[in-house]
Chains A and B, each alone.
Chain A
Amino acid sequence: MRKALGVMVTGVAMALVFFIGCSNKPSEEQMQQLNALRAEVSSLEKEIAARESEKAALLRSIADKEQQITQCNEDLQALKSRIQ
């Protein structure tokens, strides 16, 4: 029985060694670093999307204002010529 337990403990220990020590895995700290970098990239992507949206809205607004200015100037000239 004791021998069997010894064998079992050795087996578990070997598995742990294979899992933790001998598997060429990055450390916990390195994984945190990777996750932080991923989060930063994701955040940048979101911010860029928001700015792109803001830029599109501004372009629409400017085009709309230019159209209004053109119309206003046409009205102004037409009105001036009718009044004179």
Chain B
Amino acid sequence: MVKNIVTVVLMVCFIGSSVIAQEEITKDQWQRLMTELTAKRTDLKNKLDALVKEVNDLKQQEAQRLEALKQCQDALAALEVGYVGPMNALLDKIDARLNELSSLSNQDLYARRKELDTVQTWIDTARKNPLSATKKYAARINDQQNRLDALKKSLEQFIASGQAGQTYKVGTWAKDRDCLWNIAKKPKIYDNPFLWPKIWQGNRDQIKNPDIIHPGQVLKIPPKAELTKEEKAALRRYWENKKATPANP
């Protein structure tokens, strides 16, 4: 029994030591590794020294470029003085007007179409400013010209569609029986009286109460289409007000 235990312990010791021994390196391997790593360290140190020198040279080059750029920018700024303020004001004005015109419906844009010519005049003026020769301003002016061209094209298409500029001069009740319902009903207008809120909403600047229009008023006639969400909402409010305010006896 004891002999068996001793044998097992001995075997365990022997196998264990053999396994551990396999995970370590021999002196020869150690020597080889030391030689390799020492050579690698020397290479890396040389490489690092060269890199440090290169980086320092590049830093100097960067500083020189920075100085040259500053000199050029100072010279440019000195020449630009006197032109920048008016140019920026003009370009801001053009941007603001283009933003406004871009937000309009085709009908409203048609009504204000002369403003496109005004904006074109402003852009031409901007092009005469010497600053327009510089890249930054040239790019901004070109962008504005592109936006204006897009508006012009959109307007041309609207005009070509035959929907632009239709107006209607309100006649008298006695002779023409003109009210928004009857105007919308006319074959030349919508041929559909239920579209009357479209005329009301298209002329909010001159029609506060859709029950009241005056002879001689010139109404813009928006293109024929189904009532929009806003027009339906306006119609709903109209009927709610009607219910809330009974007609005077």
Contacts and interface: CB of A to CB of B under 8 A. Distances in A.
Nearest to B13: A15
A83 to B, nearest CB: 5
Interface string A1-32: 10010011001101110110001111000110
Interface stretch (B53-61, B150-158, B165-173): B53-61
Tell me the dominant secondary structure on chain B's binding face: helix
A18 B17 contact: yes
Contacts, number: 141
Interface of A is mostly: helix
Contacts of A65: 62, 65-66, 68-69
Contact of A26 (B5, B30, B44, B62): B30
A55 B147 CA distance: 43
Given A26-B27, A58-B58, A62-B65, A72 B51 contact: no
Leading 8 A-B pairs by shortest Cβ distance: A82-B130, A78-B133, A15-B13, A11-B10, A65-B65, A44-B44, A72-B72, A26-B30
Interface of B: 2-3, 5-6, 9-10, 13-14, 16-18, 20-21, 24-28, 30, 33-34, 37-38, 40-41, 44-45, 47-48, 51-52, 54-55, 58-59, 61-62, 65-66, 68-69, 72-73, 75-76, 79-80, 130-136
14 contacts: A12-B10, A14-B13, A15-B14, A19-B20, A19-B21, A26-B25, A34-B30, A37-B34, A48-B47, A51-B48, A58-B55, A71-B135, A75-B134, A78-B134
Interface of A: 1, 4, 7-8, 11-12, 14-16, 18-19, 23-26, 30-31, 33-34, 37-38, 40-41, 44-45, 47-48, 51-52, 54-55, 58-59, 61-62, 65-66, 68-69, 71-76, 78-83
